[in-house]
Structure 1
Amino acid sequence: MTRILLGTMLCLTLAACGGGRSDNRNKGYNTTVAPAFAAGQVARACMASGRKAANVQLCGCVQAVADRDLRGSDQSMAASFFSDPHRAQEIRQSDNPRHEEFWKRYKIFAERAEQTCTGL
């Protein structure tokens, strides 16, 4: 169960395989157009992950969404999930209020990355 949940969250972030749209749920965030390529720690971790779906365009798109939705410290934690997937599970299950708040932001980020980076 743990691996399935973790795999799902990582796939949402990396595979980004959903349709884009802009509506109230996204608070005006335009998910119909992939943002310009971005470089950063999330993109580097994505490229280094060794996953089949990883490519410069996808990882750059995910980074651009991270730049919009995640703080610098959030990006560091999210990037660490690529090399240590168990860390994501620990953070998700943590009773630490900071981890709980991070996980809320991370879920929103993962959903937007999925919607925005479709087909890259």
Structure 2
Amino acid sequence: MKFPTRFALVLTVAASAPVASFAGPIEQACLRSDRPSANRAVCGCVQDAANLTLTKGDQQLAASFFKNPQRAQDIRQSDRSSHESFWQRYKEFGEAAESFCG
């Protein structure tokens, strides 16, 4: 799936906007993680991608994956339609984050 260009435009505009002091749930989880590449710039960029592709509830759920990766696997394999819908949005988020923050 190709990353939509509308997100590219919004991310470009968002990257040039003043930085807010509020850290969202994805950024907070990222900064608390033990990943060696986790820093304010990367985690903030990933949060920006989340803001464009995920609802607040989606972000809370996705943030929980940092502490419990098995939960992501369980949701990905779930037959619940709400989990399937979430997973589609989560994949779009991942593509956005990879494209602009990687």
The TM-score range, normalised by the shorter chain, is 0.7 to 0.9
Indicate yes or no: 2:62 matched with 1:84: no
TM-score with structure 2 setting the length: 0.84
Q: Identity, % of aligned pairs?
A: 47
Distance 2:74 2:13 in 1: 31
Distance 2:54 2:3 in 1: 18
* Aligned-residue CA RMSD (Å): 2.0
**DSSP 3-state at the match of 2:8:** coil
Q: CA deviation at 1:27?
A: 4.2
C-alpha contact 2:3 2:95 (8 A) present in aligned 1: no
Tell me the equivalent position of 2:93: 109
Indicate yes or no: 2:8 matched with 1:30: yes
Indicate yes or no: 2:44 matched with 1:60: yes
Q: Higher RCO, 1 or 2 (CA under 8 Å, sep at least 6)? A: 1
Gaps of 5+ in 2: none
Distance 2:55 2:3 in 1: 21
Higher helix share: 2
C-alpha contact 1:34 1:117 (8 A) present in aligned 2: no
**DSSP 3-state at the match of 1:115:** helix
Equivalent residues, number: 95
TM-score with structure 1 setting the length: 0.72
Q: 1:52 to 1:25 in 2, by over 3 A?
A: closer
